[in-house]
């Protein structure tokens, strides 16, 4: 729990896709500090003890959950929502998977693959890959945004004018992001947090 936060939004308060008809998880004043407890992009389907067989069984209807939405009092269409990312509390485990039929290299790598990462969540020392490789850790937000003005359900995956699955590794602690507001209250949500990534994502 966050001792200095005004609100905590639990991981169970999540949704799939953007939809301006969603009931807000919380209504907050501008300038509030909020702790978001986020599920991973598999929606909890992949765990520290998962195997490659679990990758083949992924239910795509429950991937890419985002925590929220948050109604920001006073936010109106035409405004910009200022979001400052203060810190992360990583879990100590993560995963990298090749999901058949998904990603930029789907035609070249057709079989599922899975690597489970374990790391020190306190020190964030580089994570080991195999016997010799070390991957530096820099937690960041993968999916972040506001609800669209258009009615109906919209996927979080494509980046949009209001945000989306941006997967920019610089959305780390200390970063401030300005997101266009298209509906009253903004209806802000966040998820798909990463422990590490390069300049992009090729396998999902």
Which pLDDT band, with edges at 50, 70 and 90, does 200 fall under?
confident
pLDDT of residue 102: 86
Answer yes or no: are the C-beta atoms of 79 and 135 closer than 8 Å: no
pTM of the model: 0.95
**pLDDT single digits (tens) 56-92:** 999 999 999 999 999 999 999 999 999 999 999 999 9
Domain ranges of the chain: 7-194
How far apart are alpha carbons 78 and 81 in whole angstroms?
A: 10
Answer yes or no: are the C-beta atoms of 87 and 34 closer than 8 Å: no
**pLDDT single digits (tens) 145-186:** 999 999 999 999 999 999 999 999 999 999 999 999 999 999
pLDDT of residue 201: 81
Mean residue pLDDT of the chain comes to 95
Which pLDDT band, with edges at 50, 70 and 90, does 199 fall under?
confident
Which pLDDT band, with edges at 50, 70 and 90, does 95 fall under?
very high
pLDDT of residue 204: 62
pLDDT of residue 89: 96
The number of residues in the chain equals 204
CATH class of 7-194: mainly beta
Burial 72-82 (b: 16+ CB within 10 A, else e): beebeeebebe
């Amino acid at each position: 729990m966050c001792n200095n936060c005004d609100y905590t939004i639990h991981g169970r308060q999540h949704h799939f896709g953007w939809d301006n008809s969603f009931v807000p998880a919380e209504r907050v004043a501008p300038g509030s500090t909020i702790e978001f407890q986020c599920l991973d992009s598999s929606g909890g389907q992949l765990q520290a003890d998962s195997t490659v067989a679990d990758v083949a069984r992924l239910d795509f209807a429950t991937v890419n959950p985002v925590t929220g939405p948050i109604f920001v009092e006073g936010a109106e269409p035409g405004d910009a929502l200022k979001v400052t990312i203060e810190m992360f509390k990583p879990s100590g485990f993560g995963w990298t998977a090749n999901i058949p039929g998904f990603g930029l290299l789907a035609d070249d790598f057709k079989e599922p693959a899975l690597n489970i990462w374990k790391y020190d969540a306190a020190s964030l020392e580089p994570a080991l890959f195999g016997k010799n490789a070390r991957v530096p850790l820099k937690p960041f937000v993968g999916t972040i945004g506001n609800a669209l003005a258009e009615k109906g359900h919209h996927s979080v995956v494509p980046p949009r004018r209001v945000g989306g699955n941006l997967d920019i590794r610089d959305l780390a602690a200390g970063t401030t992001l300005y997101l266009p507001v298209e509906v009253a209250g903004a209806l802000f949500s966040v998820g798909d947090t990463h422990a590490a990534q390069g300049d992009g994502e090729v396998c999902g």
